[in-house]
Structures are given as structure tokens and as C-alpha cells.
């Protein structure tokens, strides 16, 4: 809450990662050793959970990313190139798991999600209803699913449309009879 990590949730996630994938330190060391300083601008670790590189995309060897993905796969990690960032993320660390935990804690009957990056795909698929704007990696790949609405709007117009769609979905859920009605 308020930008502060929930210590119980963080402990649960950390324990799950320790059981299911190679440690962050191993992945971080590999990134530092294997990445070419010619195209790497920054090395970062987020919340002591995953690592990413900020790169000069035009100088990046795309085969290196594929090789990294194979290396990471064998250690329980995924690799994703998005814009100028190469993410190395443990497989169990997903936005969908966080959404399900928030829904459980709040007792939510309806989950709504929006996203435009490849890292948002599992979140959109796990939500009851999802929206994808006309920009970003998901739009570029034509990503869609039965519960996901692909919008033509881009940028700020997409954000405004998604907010209207969220409000409409919530109002529609509020109008439905509750249990025992």
C-alpha cells in the first residue's frame, strides 16, 4: 500500500521463488558477465525479485536475447525484450498471481485488467475482463483472447477509453442481483 511492499506477500513470493528457480544473484551475475557493454546502458534489480538491462536497441544482437532466453529457461526464468529493456523474471513471479491475491484479500467478485506490454499478457488472461489499447507490444503482435477487448485507441485516448470501460463493467456488476437475491 502507498508504494510499500507487503512483507507477508513478499515473503510468500520469495519462498516460492527459492523453491522453483535459480537465485537472482546467479541470473544477475550472468547478465553482467554475458551482456556487451557496447549496448548496455544500465543494469537494474527490481524489488530484489528480478533483473533487467536498459539497452541501445539498435546495437543489440537479437541472437544474444534468444540465447539468454534458453539459458534462463533452464533455470526457471523467462526473458522478455520490451522496448529498450531486457527483463529476466522468475517464471512464478507474475502479475496474475498478484491480482489473484488482491482479489482474494478484498473479496472481489470481478477482476478487470488493462495492459499493453508482453509482461501484461498473463494478467489480462487471468482477469474476468481485460482491455488492450491499440499501441504497445500486445497490439504489435495482435494479442487477443475471448475475454480481452482490443481497442483501436492509442495513447491518452486509450487510457480514457479504458477508464470508461472499467466504469461500465463495474456499474454493470453492481446492477446484477447478489447471492440469494
Every domain of the chain and the residues it spans: 7-90, 95-175
Q: What is the pLDDT along the chain (181 residues), one digit of tens a residue?
A: 567 788 888 888 888 898 899 999 999 999 999 999 999 999 999 988 999 999 999 999 889 999 999 999 999 999 988 889 999 999 999 999 999 999 999 999 999 999 998 889 999 999 999 999 999 989 999 999 999 999 999 999 999 999 999 999 999 877 655 554 4
CATH architecture of 7-90: 2-Layer Sandwich (3.30)
Entry pTM: 0.77
Place of cell 504497445: 136
DSSP assignments along 6-55, one per residue: -HHHHHHHHHHHHHHS--HHHHHHHHHHHS-TTTEEEEEEETTTEEEEEE
**Could you tell me which of 40, 95, 44 has the C-alpha nearest to residue 65?**
40
- Predicted pLDDT of residue 178: 52
- Predicted pLDDT of residue 181: 46
Amino acid at each position: 500500500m502507498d508504494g510499500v511492499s507487503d512483507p507477508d506477500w513478499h515473503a510468500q513470493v520469495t519462498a516460492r521463488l527459492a523453491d522453483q528457480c535459480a537465485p537472482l544473484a546467479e541470473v544477475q551475475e550472468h547478465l553482467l558477465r554475458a551482456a556487451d557493454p557496447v549496448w548496455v546502458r544500465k543494469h537494474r534489480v527490481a524489488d530484489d525479485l528480478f533483473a533487467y538491462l536498459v539497452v541501445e536497441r539498435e546495437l543489440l544482437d537479437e541472437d544474444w536475447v534468444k540465447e539468454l532466453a534458453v539459458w534462463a529457461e533452464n533455470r526457471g526464468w523467462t526473458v522478455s525484450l520490451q522496448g529498450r529493456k531486457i527483463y529476466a523474471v522468475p517464471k512464478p513471479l507474475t502479475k496474475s498471481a498478484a491480482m489473484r491475491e488482491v482479489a482474494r484479500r478484498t473479496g472481489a467478485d470481478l477482476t478487470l485488467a488493462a495492459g499493453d506490454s508482453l509482461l501484461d499478457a498473463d494478467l489480462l488472461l487471468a482477469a474476468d475482463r481485460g482491455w488492450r489499447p491499440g499501441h504497445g507490444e500486445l497490439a504489435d503482435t495482435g494479442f487477443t483472447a475471448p475475454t480481452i477487448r482490443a481497442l483501436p485507441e492509442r495513447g491518452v485516448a486509450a487510457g480514457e477509453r479504458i477508464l470508461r470501460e472499467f466504469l461500465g463493467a463495474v456499474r454493470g456488476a453492481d446492477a446484477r442481483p447478489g447471492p440469494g437475491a
